[in-house]
Amino acid sequence: MEKALNKLSDILSPIAFKLDANRYLSAVKAGFFGAMSLLIIGSIFLLFANIPIEGYPEFMEGVLGSNWDTYFMVPYNMTMEIMTPFVMVGIAKSLANYYKVDDIGAILLALVSFFILTPSIVTAEGATGIPTLNLSASGLFVGMIAAVLSTEIYRWVIQKGWIIKMPDSVPSNVARSFSALVPGLIVIILFNFVRIGFSFTPYETAHAFIFQILQTPLLALARTLPTTFIIFIFEGLLWSFGIHGSNIIGAVMNPIWLNLTAENAAALKIGAELPNIINAQFYGNFVKIGGAGATLGLALCVLMFAKSQQYKTLGRLAIVPGLFNINEPLIFGLPIVLNPVMIIPFLIMPLLMAGMTYAAMAIDLVPYTNGANIPWTTPPIISGFLLSGWRGAVLQVFQIGVSAVVYYPFFRIIDQKAYKLETDGTDGIEQVEAGAVQATQPTEA
C-alpha cells in the first residue's frame, strides 16, 4: 500500500504543483477571491427575499407593501447579477502584478476590452445600454478570457518598449497616463477587430460563440454526477499527499459551479423551477461537511471516542474549526496525509456525500439549493436550512451521522495503536500541545 501511494504521489505531485503555480489559474483564483465578499453580500439579500419560512412573504407584504422584495433584490442585482466585471478586476490585477506592470492600466483595459466584445442595445429613445445578462455569470467566460488576453497584450507591448516616455520632471501620475496610451490603443484596436470579425460569423458576437462552443458544454458536463465523482477523487488524492486539492480544483471548477449557482438564483428570482442540483453550494455546503473529505463526523469521533491522550487533545482542537468546515488540524494532525488507513474513508466520503445529496434532491426529498452564494464556512445545519429549508438541515444532520459511522472504524485502528504506545511508555509519539497540532504516525507493527 505504501509503495503504491509513493508511486501515485510521484505522478500527481508534479502535475498538482504546476497547476497550483500556473499564473492564469492563480489569477482566476484571485479574481473570485476578490469578488467573493460582494457575491456573498448579494446572496444575503437574495436570502432575505426568499427565506424558506411559511408565512414570511405574507408578513413582509403586510409590512412593506406588495413590492417588498425590491428592497432586497436591487442590492442582489447590483452584485451577483453583474459579477463578471468584479471578477475581471482581480484577474487583471493579479496578472499585472505577476508581470510587474501597472495594475490600474491592466484593469481598465480588461474592462474596456470586455465591453467592446459585449453587444449593446439601443432603446426607442436612442439610449444605449448593455444587457445585464452579459454582465452576469453568463458572460463570465468571455470576461475571464478578455481579462487574460488584454493583460497579456498590455504587458507585451510595454515589455517591447512601445510606450511614450516622459521626462523625469513630469509628475508620475501624468507620466503613467501617457505610458499607457500606446498599449491601450493596441489593445482596443485588436479587440475591436475581434468584435468586427465575430459580426461576420453565424454567432454574431463573442458572447454567443463562447457560450455555445465552450460554456454550454462545460456546464452540461459539470452537471453530471460521474464528472463530479472524478473531480472529488482527484481532489482527495491531492489532499492525501499534502497538496491543497481544494485550491487547485477550485481554480478550475469555481467559474463553472458558480455559473450553475447563478442559474438557480436567476430561476428563483422569477419563480421558475430550479435547474441545477450540482453547483457551488452542492460542493461547498453539502459535500464538504467539515471540510475536504467530509470530516465533521471524524472530528466528533476524535472528540468523543479517543482513548489516547494525543487524539483527545486533537479532538478538542479540531472540533471548532470543523464546525466551520476547516479541517487542516485533522488532515495534518491526525494525520490523514500519507496515512494509508485514513486515506480510504477520506476518498470515499465525498463520493457518499455527493451521491446521497444528489439522490435526495433528484427524488424531491430535499429541495435544490436556492442559488444563494453563502460562505463555505457557514456551519452545517445552518447552511442546509438557508439553502434548502428545513429538509436541507435534516439531510446535513444525517450526513454528519454517516460521516461518523464511516470514519469510526478507521479512526479506532490508529487510536488503539496510539493508546498502546502511550500506555507501554514507547517513545515516538509527541503529545499535542495547546495552540499547535503535531502528531507522529505510529510505526507499523
CA 235 to chain CA mean position, Å: 13
HSE-CB for 18 with a 13 A CA cutoff? 5
The helix, strand and coil proportions of the chain, stated in percent and rounded to the nearest 5, come to 70, 0, 30
Categorize the per-residue pLDDT at 266 as very low, low, confident or very high, splitting at 50, 70 and 90. confident
Which grid coordinates belong to 280? Answer: 457551488
The answer to whether 333 and 434 have CB atoms below 8 angstroms apart is no
Question: Mutual orientation of helices 382-423 and 309-323 as an angle, nearest 10°?
Answer: 170
Say how far apart CA 258 and CA 139 lie, in whole Å: 12
Q: Max CA-CA distance within the chain?
A: 87
Cis peptide before 335 (omega within 30 of 0): yes
54-75 per-residue burial string, b: 16 or more CB within 10 A, e: under 16: eeeeeebeeeeeeebbeebbeb
DSSP character at residue 430: P
185-195 per-residue burial string, b: 16 or more CB within 10 A, e: under 16: ebbeeebeebb
Say how far apart CA 102 and CA 90 lie, in whole Å: 14
At 402-443, the pLDDT tens digits run: 999 999 999 999 899 888 888 875 544 344 333 334 444 443
Say how far apart CA 301 and CA 311 lie, in whole Å: 10
At 347-380, the pLDDT tens digits run: 999 999 999 999 999 999 999 998 888 888 889 9
For the chain, the average pLDDT equals: 85
Q: What is the pLDDT of residue 19?
A: 65
What is the per-residue DSSP string for 344-409? Answer: HHHHHHHHHHHHHHHHHHHTTSSPPP-S----TTSPTTHHHHHHHHHHHHHHHHHHHHHHHHHHHH
Q: What is the pLDDT of residue 304?
A: 93
